[in-house]
Copies of this chain bind each other. A is one copy, B any other.
Amino acid sequence: MNILGCGSALPTTRHFASSHVLNIREKLFMIDCGEGTQLQLRRSKLKFSRLNHIFISHLHGDHCFGLMGLLSTFDLLGRTAAMHIYAHPDLESILGMQLDYFCKKMDYEVVFHPINPAKVETIYEDRSVSVTTIPLIHRIPTCGFLFSEKKTPDHIKRDMIDYYNIPTYDINRIKNGEDYVLEDGTIIANNRLTTPSTPPRKYAYCSDTLYHRQIIEQVKGIDLLYHEATFADCDLSKAQTTFHSTALQAATIARDADVKQLVIGHFSVRYEDEDVLLKEAQSVFPNTILATENLKIVL
């Protein structure tokens, strides 16, 4: 997971607006695309051509004003592969109008997938991963995204395969969990022939939202939770009126959902020293880190 930007609505010299990129088995998935995302993507050295899916959490500028620049750059670079965008239905006409004007005669298609942020729904699925919406509570319709990796086949034990002289065409079945039957009828249990593959990983992105305990159910036990922490607890009332969360609340969600690691971000410009937010979160959930531009977390 690569963080391209983790600031909040106002520009600062410290942060870019929101954007994350997930690299799942060499396919890239972008979540949110604030202004400057294409610059940050260039800096990240991630391959532009590997990115085919962009998910937008909500239509506030700091989460989507970088889209036109990114799509227009792809056009200039001669992209031909379709780009899929998953967002609130309102974005389609806003983006469409700009694409019509600024990118006449594009060589690639922008495929728009309207999503309903109020519903839990699987909006994308391929052989490696599924993406499910996480309804959030913000000033406008907003959702987070849960990326769930699919299980990969188990690893075979080469020496056991050789020992039993198992032919190549049976190996895929064994990788996928089947036992093996010898010619004399003896059953060799699958766990004697394989070692388990890496357990599938899960990542959730939850920004922007009021403290919203309903998400706990969806992010239970996941490997990594990115949760907004716009404010510190001393500004709780500000968080409530603007429909944002405090660092303490983000950590409470992480603790109660028993996630493995928490990254907090979307910091208000008022905190010159973001360690205040980090310490606050760690007091409730020790395995918390601060988001920062160009941070890369390998799960």
Contact mask for chain A residues 16-47; partner B; CB cutoff 8 A; 1 contact, 0 none = 11000000000000000001101101110000
- Cα-based distance from A9 to B16 in the complex (angstroms): 20
**A196 in the interface (beta carbon within 8 A):** no
Question: Which residues of chain B have C-beta atoms less than 8 A from A101's C-beta?
Answer: 59, 90, 94
| Partner pick for A35 among B13, B36, B61, CB 8 A cutoff | B36
**A89 in the interface (beta carbon within 8 A):** no
**A68 in the interface (beta carbon within 8 A):** yes
**A98 in the interface (beta carbon within 8 A):** yes
- Cα-based distance from A65 to B95 in the complex (angstroms): 13
Q: A65-B69, A101-B59 are in contact. Are A77 and B10 (CB under 8 A)?
A: yes
Across the interface, name the chain B residue whose C-beta is closest to A39.
B11
**A66 in the interface (beta carbon within 8 A):** yes
- Cα-based distance from A10 to B90 in the complex (angstroms): 28
B61 touches A11 (CB 8 A): no
**A128 in the interface (beta carbon within 8 A):** no
CB distance from A78 to the nearest CB of B (A): 11
A61 touches B68 (CB 8 A): yes
| Partner pick for A73 among B11, B59, B98, CB 8 A cutoff | B11
B35 touches A11 (CB 8 A): no
Contact mask for chain A residues 65-98; partner B; CB cutoff 8 A; 1 contact, 0 none = 1101100110011000000000000100010011
B102 touches A35 (CB 8 A): no
Across the interface, name the chain B residue whose C-beta is closest to A40.
B11
- The interface on chain A, measured as residues whose beta carbon lies within 8 A of the other chain's beta carbons, has a size of 31
- Cα-based distance from A261 to B65 in the complex (angstroms): 36
CB distance from A30 to the nearest CB of B (A): 15
**A214 in the interface (beta carbon within 8 A):** no
**A122 in the interface (beta carbon within 8 A):** no
- Cα-based distance from A145 to B128 in the complex (angstroms): 53
**A12 in the interface (beta carbon within 8 A):** yes
Question: Which residues of chain B have C-beta atoms less than 8 A from A60's C-beta?
Answer: 102
A98 touches B94 (CB 8 A): yes
CB distance from A18 to the nearest CB of B (A): 13
Question: Which residues of chain B have C-beta atoms less than 8 A from A10's C-beta?
Answer: 73, 76-77
Question: Which residues of chain B have C-beta atoms less than 8 A from A17's C-beta?
Answer: 69
Q: A61-B68, A76-B9, A101-B90 are in contact. Are A39 and B36 (CB under 8 A)?
A: yes
CB distance from A227 to the nearest CB of B (A): 22
Question: Which residues of chain B have C-beta atoms less than 8 A from A65's C-beta?
Answer: 68-69, 72
8 A/B residue pairs, CB under 8 Å, sorted by A: A11-B41, A11-B69, A13-B39, A60-B102, A61-B69, A61-B102, A65-B68, A94-B101
Which residues of A approach B to under 8 Å, CB–CB? 9-13, 16-17, 35-36, 38-39, 41-43, 59-61, 65-66, 68-69, 72-73, 76-77, 90, 94, 97-98, 101-102
